[in-house]
Every structure is written in C-alpha cells, then in structure tokens.
Structure 1
Amino acid sequence: MGRVAAVSIVSTDTDYLHRIQAGHFALDTDEPKALGGQGAAPAPFDLYLSSLAACTAITLRMYAQRKDWNLGEFRAELSLTRDEEGKLHIHRVLRSDQPLSDEQWNRLLEIVANTPVTKAMREGAEISSERGAFIAL
C-alpha cells in the first residue's frame, strides 16, 4: 500500500487553534468564534472543501492543457450543506473567463465527477486510530 499523503497536527495554547504540517507546508486550523474558537484560520470543513476545490482546479487545468484548451482564469465555487437527515451535500459551480463550447463544458463536467479527491470523498475511506507514545519536540 503506497502512501498518498501524511500530515501531523499539534495543539496550541489557544482554543481551538492548531498547527498542521503537511509535507514542508505549515498551515493553521481553528473553529469560528461561534463555536468557541478564535476564527483565526480555516475550520476543518473549510479545509475539507478546499481539498476538493484544489483537486478540481488542478485536474481540470491538467486536462485542458492536454487537450490544448484555454481555460483562462478558472474558478470553482464549492458549498457544503447538511440536509434534514444529516447527510452532507457538496455543490460545485465551475467558471471560466474563456468562451468554451457546450461540448467542452460537458467533458469538463464529466472529468470533474471523477477527480481523485471527488472519488475519495464519494467512496469514503477506512479510518483507523491507535494510541501512540508522546514524543516531546
């Protein structure tokens, strides 16, 4: 089984601000003030949607380049809602400042339905947890 990604997270002395290390990139996460956080960084569901937005934009850019299509400035706007039964729903709106044909848009919508992160979110992942010894840094 090959590793796809690895991250670590460390608490701070501020509720609920945490520091994430993803490879050699550092970023923060927090909760909004309404949930007891400081609102100092994206909340976990913001990061969840951000990963899908990033995969959407990168995958479509790669595909368009292979087809020699000019996407120009590309935008993807995503929203996450929860229905009455508690099920999550994600909606994406894709935009380009270039005059793409209906055929091109239809193909892009087919491609976006199968990006790696789209598939992972749709199919789910097996999640396991274990206790580890604390190692002071």
Structure 2
Amino acid sequence: MRTLAAALILALALAACGDSSTEPKTPSASGTWTGVVTGGTITLTLAEQAGGTITGAGSIQGTAGAASVTVTGTHVHPSISLTLRSTGFEDANYTGQFVNRNTISGHLNGSGFNNVTLTLTRQ
C-alpha cells in the first residue's frame, strides 16, 4: 500500500512541475507599439483578433508634422504584415517578425519610405 501511495504522490508532484505559464505561447500583436524612423516616431495601437487579423490606429510624427493612420494587417507567427493608411498619402507597408513577445523587427515601404528598418517595441 505504501508503494502505491508513494507512486501516486510522485506522479502528482511530476504533474505539478509542468509548464505553468499563463501567457500564450504565440505573442499577440495587441497593444501599443512605438518605433523610430529617420526624422520621426511611429506609434501604433493594435488589436489582433482570432485568426491573426489586425486592426488599429496610430500616428507618424516627423519634423514636418504628424499624420494619423489607420492600420490593417495579419499576423502568422512569427511574421507580421501591416498596411498604414492616411488621408492624402500613399499607403505604407510594414513587414516584420517577432523577435520576442515585445519586439518586432522589420521594414517600412511606400509613402516616401524605401526599405526603412523599423523596430517596434511594445509599450
């Protein structure tokens, strides 16, 4: 009987040692992100829905002023693709990859950006 009890205690102890992390394995793009580009900063507030669809809004601030943007995109981990739209400007496209759950590294093209390196950091 003692052997059975010891085996059950050992099995329960081993089960308790499993991964107890409550954070999802794949990071969500939801949150506020900022990055620096030549001459300015980008701030985006994103919401990721089930299936990896991303929507959001933000701003691009530069020496010539600021522009509000709307954001649409997709996240298929680790890759992320965003389109930034602003009235009166050509669309800008950002493609990148999660480096870790709080950092995305990629490139911005369109609307005056030509393969500009942009690292977004979760705030």
Which TM-score band applies after superposition, normalised by the shorter structure?
0.3 to 0.5
- The structure whose Rg is larger is 2
Which structure has more strand as a fraction of its residues? 2
Q: Which has the higher contact order (CA 8 A, sep 6+)?
A: 2
Normalised by the length of structure 1, the TM-score is 0.31
TM-score by length of 2: 0.33
Higher share of residues assigned helix: 1
